[in-house]
Structure 1
Amino acid sequence: MVASGTTTPGAGPPRPTDVRAPTVAPAADPHDSGPEGRPLVLLAYVCGFTMVALLHGLDETLGVVAGVLNIVFGVYFCRHLGFAVAAARWAENDMLAADVGLHSYTPSVAVFVGCKNEELVVDGMVTALLALDYPADRLTLVVVDDGSDDTTGARLDAWAAREPRLRVLHRPPGSGGGKSGALNDALHLVDAEIAVVFDADHEPDPTALRRLVRHFRDPVVGAVMGRCVIRNGRDSQMASTVFVDFLSGYLVNEYGRQALFELPAYGGANCAVRMSTLRGLGGWNPHTVTEDTDLTLRVLMAGQRVRYDLSAVDFEEAVVSAQRFWKQRYRWARGHQKCFRDYWRPLMRSPHLSLVEKVETTLFLLVYHVPLLSGIGVLLTVLRAFGIGDLPLVALLPLSMLLFVGPLAELSVGLLIGRVERRSAWRLLGFLPAFALSIWITTRAYVDGMLGRPYTWVKTSRSGATSTVRVDPPVVAPAGAAS
């Protein structure tokens, strides 16, 4: 028996065909022989460097490389500094004035959550969804059990049996498409004006929906991102590092992109997208492992905009070990780098973006290439220490400083705006090993992507961190009871 409120793929209302948003199709399958596999480009890099070194000498060649890196890091330093100044100047004031228009606009909303083996966090997530402050007749809650082989499906069925507001979709094991595939299947079940996505470990603030959807009064807005806050920063040194990282990323980096360029990104969760825009773009791209970055680019190239609301808060669980950090950031790096390869040409041709906007979006796309370049910079410094590459020390000083000062400014401002306790400042030291690990992760992701090595979406493992919401889970049926 299928529990009350549950369904299977293919059920529900047909997909609307009245779509007015311009179409920007998702990128092709990454396993196709095309943009993902570029081993010849890597070979060209090596051959080109070797030929130049033979013609002009190793010292001069390394000097040119160091000079180029100084320029790149200088650009990113100015960008980081600009974001930090903008956040320090305006972010707190914006948070104080964030309660405008929360009740005057209530479009129909469908909340989507994909779950795969999430028994440790699913009860807290459902409890938080049911506590959302939004008119019940304007809200649909759809949770997708993506072929789980633990008690996730049974727990969801138990919730749906007693909560008519909740609909559960069970996908068969091996359905494919990862998170994008799960969300696209859910898309067929509803006919709403706005789609809002949360992850299984997320617990949104009750007002999050109202804060996200109010931006869609503006017809040019295609998507809106909220702010994610780590709730388990004390669970481990790695979780503490991610806590500070998120303060920087959401309170400073994304706020800065919004304040200076009006170009924030659509994130993977705690985000909303206009349903007509989403359907017009063909849904989420099942051939990418970072569906959020992919959709950001397609929304921008379709002539619409993304907005960021730092008051739409959502609490999530940070990874607690280096192994989980590796898997998560490798997926982010692999997907982000692929998005750059897939979209930089159409991005440059887009008539909807100014030159400055194209440059900033390109810098955003190259963020997961910068640690790779940082690794080259560190290598140059090591070579100089052993007398290889006859460069004056002063030429390497800007390189070494710019590797860290810009991100450090963002992290520091994030701690200030977040008003964390004083001793949290010492958490900045945790970024030294995390930064070294990021260099290896992004380098490995880049080489694997250029060589066309197969990679599919991999979920982040959960630890079941203490919830910010009191959870009263329903009685769970035995495993296998749900169909």
Structure 2
Amino acid sequence: MIKDILHFMLVIVQILALLYGFYYFSTSIYGIAEKFSKKPSKNYLPLKKFAIFIPAHNEENVIGNIVENLGHLNYPKEYYDVFVIADNCSDNTAKIAEEGGANVLVRYNEEKKGKGYALQWAFREVLYRKDADYDAVVVFDADNLVSRDFLKEMNNKLCDGHKVLQGYIDSKNPEDSWITTSYSIAFWSSNRLFQCAREYLGLSCQIGGTGFCVDVDILKRIGWEATCLVEDLEFTMKLMLNGIRVGWAHNAVVYDEKPLTMAQSWRQRRRWMQGFADVCSRYFIKLLVKSIKEKNFALFDCAIYTLQPYMIIMVGMTLLIPALNTFVFDNEMLIITSRFFPNFFKAFGVLQFLLIPIGLHLDGKFNYKLFLYYPTYALYCLTWIPISIQGIIMKNNKEWSHTLHTRTLSIHEIE
């Protein structure tokens, strides 16, 4: 009896994992199709004025690079201002940023820590001034470097009618370690197979924490109350509930520093999964109900996206099937568990891994060295399972964990 119940539960888990995997695999194909779609791109004169915000907590090692970088964009200097938020800093972040020409906003608050709170405070400080005349805000992380045409591309998209945009998140240090390479493959794949697919299908892209742009009127209308561990995900869901989709700016590139070690990576990804579980608990039902009422598939897509940590665990449970068949189930009648699903998931996994190099090739990111990293990339993917479990357990822990950034590069070394 217990075996029958366990078997039934396993079948349900596998069916859900199967549907989840098939959904994302099928939508990924549209990311490939987007590359070949003939959507004309327009170039507009510089019309939009930007306020650029860089939240920074003890970032003296890297803040000078991005401030210098932003001073040389291919966009009129009078059409953008740079604001560095020195958030609870105990080093020379503020001094270096100011010497580089940025406007420095110094914030001390031991109770409300984290990037979301820093942005909330800075937006209020800057955007509600009487002399503020900005059309849009752009957010970068302190460790980033930015393509010279970033604001030019955002200006074009805003003039085309977009209100919220996410830029292409590239890697600043893809070959520093097997961890940074794995991160880079994951982000490159997401850009092409997830973000481009949603842009092509008319769904909402996801804000990725850096390199995003928001129309000031939208920001003032719905407010920035996204202060959890994944403020980018929370703000995306809030936008969607207010009928505002996130567009994709593929040619607006931001280079992000990836963690060097497994320990750093584990802490960062655990924070992401904590935030996902938190956002899911507060937004999943709202998004799902609204999607059904309004027959809005974009809302449904966002609702499914918030389930990520739970679905990762479900997919992980399917890997236990061979052991369960050996040590628990001894009845040949349990054929759906013992034969069909394991074979299907093997075939499905191979197809998914073959799709990744295709996506990388389309964006000029593929090289044969990446094949050498595929075994370690597979290991990186497997670590999401225990990280997701830990994230769900710790979802009510809202303490922000800062990732140390040390990779000093200039944009000239990358582009």
Whether the TM-score (by the shorter chain) exceeds 0.5 is yes
Partner in structure 1 of residue 186 of structure 2: 245
Do the aligned partners of 2:69 and 2:410 also contact (CA within 8 Å) in 1?
Answer: no
- For the pair 1:370 / 2:316, whether they are aligned, the reply is no
Shift of 1:185: 2.0
Do the aligned partners of 1:317 and 1:465 also contact (CA within 8 Å) in 2?
Answer: no
Pick closer, same or farther for the CA change 1:198–1:320 going to 2, 3 Å: same
Runs of 5+ consecutive residues of structure 2 not aligned to the other structure: none
Partner in structure 1 of residue 17 of structure 2: 73
Partner in structure 2 of residue 343 of structure 1: 283
Shift of 1:457: 2.1
Partner in structure 2 of residue 435 of structure 1: 381
Shift of 1:470: 5.8
Question: Which of structures 1 and 2 has the larger relative contact order (alpha carbons within 8 angstroms, sep 6+)?
Answer: 1
User: Aligned with 1:107: secondary structure?
Assistant: coil
User: Aligned with 1:462: secondary structure?
Assistant: coil
Do the aligned partners of 2:206 and 2:236 also contact (CA within 8 Å) in 1?
Answer: yes
Partner in structure 1 of residue 369 of structure 2: 423
Per-residue CA shift, 1:332-354, capped at 9, x if unaligned? 11111211110122223437953
Partner in structure 2 of residue 168 of structure 1: 104
CA distance in 1, matches of 2:120, 2:243: 22
Q: Which structure 1 residue ranges, 4+ long, deviate > 6 Å from structure 2?
A: none
Q: Quick one: which of 297, 303, 322 aligns to 2:243?
A: 303
Partner in structure 2 of residue 464 of structure 1: 407
Matches within 5 A, 1:42-441: 57-91=1-35, 100-159=41-100, 163=101, 166-172=102-108, 174=110, 176-187=112-123, 188-190=125-127, 191=132, 192-217=134-159, 219=161, 221-286=162-227, 288-350=228-290, 354-388=295-329, 390=331, 391-392=334-335, 393-398=338-343, 400-401=345-346, 404-405=349-350, 407-419=352-364, 420-441=366-387
Partner in structure 2 of residue 17 of structure 1: none
TM-score under structure 1 length normalisation = 0.77
Pick closer, same or farther for the CA change 1:467–1:386 going to 2, 3 Å: farther
Per-residue CA shift, 1:224-277, capped at 9, x if unaligned? 001011121111011111111111111221111221242211221100011111
CA distance in 1, matches of 2:17, 2:155: 37
CA distance in 1, matches of 2:46, 2:92: 38
Point out the more displaced range, 251-260 or 380-389: 380-389
CA distance in 1, matches of 2:354, 2:27: 9
**Count of aligned residue pairs for this structure pair:** 402
Pick closer, same or farther for the CA change 1:228–1:120 going to 2, 3 Å: same
Shift of 1:152: 1.5
Identity of aligned residues (%): 19
User: Aligned with 1:170: secondary structure?
Assistant: strand
Amino acid at match of 1:85: I
Pick closer, same or farther for the CA change 1:123–1:469 going to 2, 3 Å: farther
User: Aligned with 1:305: secondary structure?
Assistant: coil
Pick closer, same or farther for the CA change 1:353–1:314 going to 2, 3 Å: farther
TM-score under structure 2 length normalisation = 0.89
Per-residue CA shift, 1:71-127, capped at 9, x if unaligned? 222223323322332222332667xx77x3333352121110001111221121111
Shift of 1:409: 4.2
Pick closer, same or farther for the CA change 1:272–1:245 going to 2, 3 Å: same
Partner in structure 2 of residue 42 of structure 1: none
Partner in structure 2 of residue 27 of structure 1: none
CA RMSD of aligned residues (A): 2.4
User: Aligned with 2:158: secondary structure?
Assistant: helix
Do the aligned partners of 1:375 and 1:439 also contact (CA within 8 Å) in 2?
Answer: yes
Pick closer, same or farther for the CA change 1:455–1:63 going to 2, 3 Å: same
CA distance in 2, matches of 1:341, 1:399: 31
Pick closer, same or farther for the CA change 1:68–1:399 going to 2, 3 Å: farther
CA distance in 2, matches of 1:106, 1:389: 70
CA distance in 2, matches of 1:62, 1:380: 12
